[in-house]
Amino acid sequence: MSMFIGEALAGKGNEIAHIDLMIGSKTGPVGAAFASALATQTAGHSNLLAVLEPNLLVKPATVTITKVTIKGAKQATQMFGPAQAAVAKAVADSVEAGIIPKDQCEDLVIVCGVFIHWDAADDKKIFDYNYEATKQSIANAMGAKPTVDEVLAGKEKAAHPFRGF
């Protein structure tokens, strides 16, 4: 398969994390999306590579993209700080755990959509929730979760927290 797709929500309050991600080959559609995300920066949507620390890029190379328009230095710092650090750590831990095969790390890339609420205040919660959501998203993507049968079995009782009714 050339593209694996994962999603997860973790936490609560304004620090809630919602991750959408794609994992795939550098030579496939995810590779094209990865390159486009890095090459296409717009006001309020600064995409950045996930790093464990400066000069220590995570593998597979991962670009974090904003799912909302970043409005102000506080929100930008949260994206560039605890959110991207959480994504990087979750990717590295997923490789270490064998969820992402180590021997494929140079061939794969990840595009990871990150949500930072404009009223988020607690950087530790931002890190913790984004780590949890990213780790779960990766496991879901690599494990083809949910299955079609799980979706069909759960569709009638599903209760999305932001549905509004």
Catalytic residues, by residue number, are 18
- How many CB atoms neighbour CB 102 within 10 A? 10
Burial of 106-144, coded b for 16+ CB within 10 Å and e otherwise, reads: eebbbbbbbbbbeebeeeebbbbbbbbbbbbbbbbbbee
**Residues 11 and 133: beta-carbon distance below 8 Å:** yes
Could you tell me which of 22, 81, 79 has the C-alpha nearest to residue 47? 79
Q: What is the DSSP string of 48-76?
A: EE-EEETTEE-SSEEEEEESS---SHHHH
